Each structure stands twice: as structure tokens, then as C-alpha cells.
């Protein structure tokens, strides 16, 4: 993007989102689906869309030693906007064994220490237990390395980014002795029961809500019980999108609304970094009429149609803006999570947003960003 085309848009003052769960190392953000390439990496467009709709910060998830490294590098390119975690997901602890254990955990600790020092690593995780997916890692192996990583988290002095699926009792039993020694944590992507929620709240944890937490009527009932002073919001992108078949979907309305306030774009168009260089603004023979997403003012395309969308001069929103990819969740969708929570809790969007923002900045020790404009 050339500097002479730079534009500024005022940030909306009352809406500030912090997405606590984003997986930018996932191949889908680099255009690869099930091992097959479909389009060029469009992370810059994904971030531009997020900024357009007031996502003012994100915590990227590290889920193994290698991925934590890559995640940290990505976060490094967007200072004061992207932050990251370091840790090994319960489904990935199978890559640690008695032979590589001491080296692996030492490297993990070093990465967390140096990342914390540079101000990018804001939590240790994601760590925890996942008994829904024992085919990746058996129970005892998960428990062992959950504990060993908790030891590291205490040494490093970072809050926890936790993952817990169908393992509430073991989870609580393992983590309880550590509680007085850690600076708290968030149980992200919460899909548990009311009883499980109560137990986690009693331990003092924050609860992260995304599309996976809003799938069924039972889920919705549980989410309606989360106190605002313990709530965090996330997309878990590219996963956990809110689908039409999900119970929460009925609460969603289309842009412009409270969660996605009207964007006033400058007259001139912009060209975004991922514009294909060989493209022309004349639609090719194969090009389909452009369909916008039902909720957001961006084109919605199947991944295999991405390359046909060759428009040189792109706008920030509307038919000529960079496309969303069907079935791939991304941070700009966080407003949908908020709209459903506000409805369930009978709260204003502003209150939900303010609380989640405050909770995230408090836990991860991030200074409030108060820029008035984003420049693209």
C-alpha cells in the first residue's frame, strides 16, 4: 500500500472489542484448506476488516512450542495491536515425551520469559484438559503436562489462558493448588454446564465466550448466567463461527446496528495489499455476481472463488471490498458474539462491550489504547 493513499477513519468511541482468542497460525488464514492451497494469505485484509469494525486488540493463541513461536512473530509485526500466548494445548501435549521433555519445556519457558519481557506475550496457554478429544492425547498424559505447564506459568508470572472440555472435575483438582500463586486466568471457549460455570466462577476465573458457546439453547441459558465482570469475548477464529443453524443466530441483525456502527468511508477508494497484481477491474467471464455477507458489508465468497475476485481498486466496505471466506470465522465477527450476549443478558451492547474490554485489559495487563483514528 503506498503512503500517499493512506486514509484515516475515526474509531467508534463506545465500541471497543478485544478478541481474546485468534488462531492466525491456522493454514486457513494463509489460504490453505485441508492441505490444499486455495488463495493467497489475506491476514492483512482480515486485520483491516477487524479494525474497520472496532476490534482494538487481539490475543493470538499459541498451541505448541512451534506455533507459539510463529504466533509471537505474527504479533510482533503489529505492535500494540496483536499480543500472544505461549503454551501447549492439551491435544498437542502428545508431542512431549520422556525423551524431549526437559528440552521442550525449557524452550517453552524461555520463549514465555523473553516474550513477556518484550511486552507481546500476555498469558500462558492455551493449556488445560480436553476429554472430548482423547484420540489425540490420553488423559494421564494431558494431566501430567497441564501440571508441568502450570509450574512454568508460575515461574514466568503470567495469567492463564485455559482450555477445558468435558473434564471439569480433574481440571479443578489439578488447578486448585496453584490458584494462590497465579495472577488468575480465563477459561476460554466455554461450553460447559451451569454447574461447571458456577464452580469456575467460584475459583475466580474469567469466562471466554465465542460462537461455540452459543450453539444450543442449553448453551444460551448458561451464557445468560455469566456475570459481566467475569466475561471475555472471543471468536476463536478461524473456528467457532456462528451458523444459521445455531441457537444464538436468531438474535443477530444486519449492519448497520449497535455492534457494527455505520462506517463513513472517504470518497476515494483504497487498494489493499493482497490485491492480485495481474487482476483488472473488468469482471472476467467466469465472475459471478458479488453477494454480500448477510450481516456484514463485505462480499462473501467460497474459498475456491477467491481468485476470481480480481478487483484492483478496493474499497473499505461494500461490493468492492476484500471478501470474507465462507465458513472461515475471523475477528470482525466478534460483534455477533456481543449482540447475542447482550440479548441473553438483557443488557445494553455498550455495557457488555465495556465490561469485556475492561476485563481483558485488567487480566492481560494491557494499557488502554486511545487512538481516535485507524489508518490504513
Q: How far is the CB of 128 from Zn ion (least distance, A)?
A: 8
Q: Which is nearer to Zn ion, 163 or 328 (CB)?
A: 163
Q: Which is nearer to Zn ion, 190 or 376 (CB)?
A: 190
Interaction with Zn ion in 189-228: which residues (CB under 5 A)? 189
Cell of 86: 505461549
Give CA–CA dist 253/273, Å, rounded.
30
Candidate ranges 49-57, 181-189, 295-303, 367-375; the one touching Zn ion (CB under 5 A) = 181-189
Output the CA torsion 80→359→12→272 (10° steps): 40
Listed residue (333, 334, 338) closest to 355, CA to CA? 338
Residues in the chain: 376
Any contact of residue 163 with Zn ion (CB under 5 A)?
A: yes
Contacts of 92 (CB under 8 A, 6+ apart): 63, 64, 67, 136, 137
First CA to last CA distance, the chain: 9
Give CA–CA dist 118/164, Å, rounded.
29
Q: How far is the CB of 188 from Zn ion (least distance, A)?
A: 6
Candidate ranges 158-166, 173-181, 238-246, 366-374; the one touching Zn ion (CB under 5 A) = 158-166
Give CA–CA dist 179/15, Å, rounded.
33
Q: Which is nearer to Zn ion, 57 or 125 (CB)?
A: 125
Q: How far is the CB of 294 from Zn ion (least distance, A)?
A: 27
Q: How far is the CB of 22 from Zn ion (least distance, A)?
A: 12
# residues near Zn ion by CB under 5 A: 2
Q: Cell 444486519 belongs to which residue?
A: 254
User: What does 73-94 look like in DSSP terms, one character per residue?
Assistant: HHHHTSTTTEEEEE---TTTGG
Indicate the SS3 state at residue 34: coil
Q: Which is nearer to Zn ion, 54 or 189 (CB)?
A: 189
Q: Name the residue number minimizing CB distance to Zn ion.
A: 163
Q: How far is the CB of 196 from Zn ion (least distance, A)?
A: 15
Backbone angles phi, psi at 83, to 5 degrees: -125, 170
Q: Which is nearer to Zn ion, 75 or 186 (CB)?
A: 186
Candidate ranges 91-99, 163-171, 240-248, 361-369; the one touching Zn ion (CB under 5 A) = 163-171
Q: Which is nearer to Zn ion, 148 or 163 (CB)?
A: 163
Q: How far is the CB of 239 from Zn ion (least distance, A)?
A: 9
Instruction: Name the residues that contact Zn ion, by CB under 5 A.
Output: 163, 189
Amino acid at each position: 500500500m503506498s503512503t500517499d493513499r493512506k486514509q484515516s477513519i475515526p474509531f467508534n468511541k463506545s465500541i471497543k472489542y478485544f478478541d481474546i482468542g485468534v488462531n492466525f497460525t491456522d493454514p486457513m488464514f494463509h489460504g490453505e484448506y485441508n492441505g490444499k492451497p486455495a488463495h493467497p494469505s489475506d491476514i492483512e485484509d482480515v486485520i483491516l476488516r477487524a479494525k474497520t469494525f472496532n476490534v482494538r486488540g487481539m490475543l493470538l493463541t499459541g498451541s505448541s512450542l512451534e506455533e507459539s513461536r510463529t504466533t509471537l512473530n505474527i504479533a510482533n509485526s503489529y505492535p500494540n495491536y496483536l499480543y500472544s500466548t505461549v503454551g501447549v494445548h492439551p491435544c498437542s501435549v502428545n508431542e512431549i515425551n520422556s525423551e524431549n521433555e526437559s528440552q521442550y519445556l525449557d524452550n517453552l519457558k524461555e520463549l514465555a520469559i523473553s516474550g513477556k519481557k518484550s511486552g507481546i506475550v500476555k498469558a500462558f496457554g492455551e493449556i488445560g484438559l480436553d476429554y472430548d478429544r482423547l484420540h489425540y492425547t490420553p488423559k494421564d498424559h494431558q494431566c501430567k503436562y497441564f501440571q508441568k505447564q502450570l509450574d512454568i506459568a508460575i515461574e514466568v508470572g503470567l495469567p492463564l489462558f485455559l482450555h477445558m472440555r468435558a473434564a471439569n472435575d480433574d481440571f479443578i483438582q489439578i488447578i486448585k493448588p496453584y490458584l494462590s500463586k497465579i495472577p488468575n486466568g480465563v477459561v476460554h471457549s466455554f461450553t460447559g454446564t451451569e454447574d461447571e460455570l458456577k464452580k469456575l466462577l467460584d475459583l475466580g476465573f474469567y469466562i471466554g465466550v465465542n460462537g461455540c458457546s452459543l450453539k444450543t439453547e442449553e448453551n444460551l441459558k448458561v451464557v445468560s448466567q455469566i456475570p459481566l465482570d467475569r466475561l471475555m469475548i472471543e471468536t476463536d477464529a478461524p473456528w467457532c463461527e456462528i451458523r444459521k443453524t445455531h441457537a444464538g443466530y436468531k438474535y443477530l441483525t444486519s449492519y448497520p446496528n449497535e455492534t457494527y456502527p455505520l462506517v463513513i468511508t472517504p470518497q476515494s477508494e483504497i487498494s489493499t495489499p493482497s490485491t492480485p497484481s495481474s487482476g483488472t477491474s473488468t469482471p472476467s467471464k467466469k465472475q459471478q455476481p458479488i453477494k454480500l455477507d448477510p450481516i456484514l458489508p463485505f462480499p462473501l465468497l467460497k474459498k475456491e472463488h477467491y481468485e476470481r475476485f480480481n478487483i484492483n481498486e478496493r474499497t473499505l466496505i461494500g461490493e468492492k471490498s476484500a471478501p470474507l471466506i465462507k465458513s472461515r470465522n475471523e475477528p470482525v465477527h466478534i460483534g455477533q458474539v456481543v449482540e447475542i450476549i447482550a440479548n441473553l443478558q438483557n443488557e445494553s451492547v455498550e455495557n457488555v462491550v465495556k465490561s469485556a474490554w475492561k476485563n481483558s485489559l485488567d487480566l492481560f495487563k494491557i494499557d488502554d489504547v486511545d487512538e481516535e483514528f485507524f489508518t490504513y
